[in-house]
Amino acid sequence: MNYLGLGKKELKKELDIQQSRYEKYMAMGLTLDMTRGKPCAEQLKLSEPMLSDSILGDYRSENGTDCRNYGILAGLPEARTFMGELLGVPGENIICGGNSSLNMMYDTISTFMLFGVSEDENDRPWFEDKDRKFICPVPGYDRHFVITQQFGFKLIPVDIGPDGPDMDEVERIVRDDPSVKGIWSVPKYSNPTGYVYSDECIQRFARMKCAAKDFRIFWDDAYTVHFINGSPAKQLSLFDECVKAGNPERVIMFGSTSKITFPGAGISALAADKRTIDFLLSKISKQTIGPDKLNQLRHVKFLKNVDGVVEHMKKHAVIMKPKFDAVGQIFENEFGAPREGQLSWTKPEGGYFICCRTGDGMASEVLSMCRRCGVAFTPAGSTHPYKIDPTDSYVRIAPSYPDVDQIKSAVEIFCICVKIVLINRLLAV
Ligand code: PLP
């Protein structure tokens, strides 16, 4: 597809072709949902054995705790070890929580807002800084951005590329401004690009000079084992790098089994240095008497350890890979090769999303055309702070939930709409 070299007559002819394809799809009265990244029913089925009553045995944890009862604020020891293996930290650095890591992120920001990042009285509550700011790599995850927006941070976008955020820019922003309190990050198979941060990027995160002593990296490793090709991508541990760099308190990691077992009924975890863990536990102890240990026990009995998780994720990959391949194949058929910046798409090795860039200023119009044809995509702008994408070009594609035929139709409609919008613009020049 190269419309730039065409004259008006040829463009009009091409427009007719694409419009008649669009109208054929319109007449089919489709309802296709490509919005949120949810596992499909076949994926959920993989974890059904976990729901059998027998898996819980005598309800006792390794240390004899009766999981049917109150207690164990930081989570079952074996669940802490298990989530520690997933996040690459010792179990003692883990708080194993309830059904949502996003909830743990929200609560952690909320705690830092009200009380600061530690008991030290020099660590002032974040709310006292009226000029507080948070860095948001873009394109990124909308639910991260709205948490810090709700708590009154000014959101600073920084571009992300295949190796991670633009670290020159991150280092520049954190160096001199003590009001910059943190950054969001999805380091592996990032939402929505699927990018994997490079080791160099991770080392720069650990070593960079921050004007704010209470600057924290919110490292959301939501997709750490969600590979679709072979095995999980290898990556340096930011936790270890921060310790080596003499900044052990800089990173708070998060993860969950939401897309390993059951979203909304999985287990979550937070990892941090021991001082932060103790501080957070002192606050959590006022919030709850303890987490759902039965679900933690169920997960450990079912998945066992990181090797067990990788074996389980291979079964997810068998379901997910054809869906990712279908999106890539349609893009190639319709557009040819990706072009730098304009009309490009990512080719992730894992995670839940593909990110496509239409030409600048086109995404909103393309997505409303898709909507009229019965296909819902995540709204344009969702990948950016305040839901404003200044380039109006980023579109998040979530292929996990629909079946392959539905994906093919939805992405084909998307491509047709891109072509129609582009030709109309060229004709208007
Ligand atoms: N973090 C990222 C990057 C996500 O994409 C999602 C869900 O889509 C979540 C967190 C939600 O995690 P949880 O179900 O553990 O709250």
Q: 263: Cβ below 6 Å to ligand 1?
A: yes
Within its chain, how far is the Cα of 64 from the centroid? 36
Quick one: which of 96, 148, 98 has its CA closest to 126? Answer: 148
* Protein residue with least CA distance to atom 5, ligand 1: 191
Within its chain, how far is the Cα of 113 from the centroid? 23
Q: 224: Cβ below 6 Å to ligand 1?
A: no
The string over 292-322, giving b where at least 16 C-beta atoms fall within 10 Å of a residue's C-beta and e elsewhere, is: bbebbbbbbebbeebeebeebbeebbebbee
Q: Which two tokens stand for residue 85?
A: 């293996």
CA angle 255, 81, 252 (to 5 degrees): 40
Residue 267 contacts residue 96 (beta carbons within 8 Å): yes
Q: 222: Cβ below 6 Å to ligand 1?
A: yes
Mean pLDDT, the chain, integer: 97
Distance 12 CA to ligand 1 centre (A): 44
Distance 351 CA to ligand 1 centre (A): 11
Q: 378: Cβ below 6 Å to ligand 1?
A: no
Per residue in 364-376, pLDDT (tens digit) is 999 999 999 999 9
Per residue in 228-279, pLDDT (tens digit) is 999 999 999 999 999 999 999 999 999 999 999 999 999 999 999 999 999 9
Q: For residue 339, what pLDDT is reported?
A: 77
Name the region of 244 (left: φ>0; alpha: ψ -120 to 50; beta: rest).
Answer: alpha
Best residue among 36, 87, 95, 102 to mutate for probing ligand 1's pocket (most ligand atoms within 8 Å of CB) is: 102
Per residue in 329-358, pLDDT (tens digit) is 999 999 998 776 679 999 999 999 999 999
Distance 89 CA to ligand 1 centre (A): 20
d(CA 270, CA 86): 11
Residue 355 contacts residue 194 (beta carbons within 8 Å): yes
Q: From the CB of residue 164, how many other CB atoms can be counted at a distance below 10 Å? A: 22
What mean pLDDT is predicted for residues 153-157?
A: 98
What mean pLDDT is predicted for residues 38-43?
A: 97
* Helical (H) or strand (E) element with 81: helix 77-87
Question: 0.95 cut: is pTM over it?
Answer: yes
Q: 148: Cβ below 6 Å to ligand 1?
A: no
* Protein residue with least CA distance to atom 7, ligand 1: 37
Best residue among 35, 138, 191 to mutate for probing ligand 1's pocket (most ligand atoms within 8 Å of CB) is: 191
Distance 101 CA to ligand 1 centre (A): 7
* Protein residue with least CA distance to atom 1, ligand 1: 222
Per residue in 185-235, pLDDT (tens digit) is 999 999 999 999 999 999 999 999 999 999 999 999 999 999 999 999 999
